[in-house]
Amino acid sequence: MDFDKDELIKYRIERAKETIQEAELSLKNKSLHLAQNRIYYSIFYIISALALKNNFSTSKHVQLLGWFNKNFILTNKISKEFGEIYNTAFQYRQKGDYDDMIYFEYNDVEKRYKDMLRFVDVIEKLL
């Protein structure tokens, strides 16, 4: 199904913001695995909007991460700190979703939540 590019970008931004709310609620309820998952997906949705704006599309999470690092971090369009935020969110989402005996600490997830808020804000300004 074909979508208008601008409408799809808008939709992905909305998904990122909805997912922020889900992460916040999960964190408040101390559902730390779910919060970590939603932190990552908020970043994923906002980066997929940025990718679409820049005519890049992939269904692969690692390819999207690589595209972002290559085109925005390595070119210094965005501070390396934001590349680290994205990379960390991806790694922790992977661990939380696929590894056994993973336990997250509330303070660590809360920090990643705050980092995600800054990340989404910075990327949204590029859109």
For 75-114, how does the pLDDT look when each residue is reduced to its tens digit (9 = 90+)? Answer: 999 999 999 999 999 999 999 889 899 999 999 999 999 9
Contacts for 87-92 with beta carbons within 8 Å, 24 or more apart?
88/112, 88/115, 89/36, 89/39, 89/40, 89/43, 89/115, 89/116, 90/40, 90/61, 90/65, 92/36, 92/39, 92/40
Superfamily classification of domain 5-126: Nucleotidyltransferases  domain 2 (1.20.120.330)
- Enter the DSSP assignment of 105: -
Domain spans of the chain? 5-126
Q: Which amino acid is at 30?
A: K
Reported as a single tens digit per residue, the pLDDT across 17-74 is 999 999 999 999 999 999 999 999 999 999 999 999 999 999 899 999 999 999 999 9
- Is 0.75 topped by the overall pTM? yes
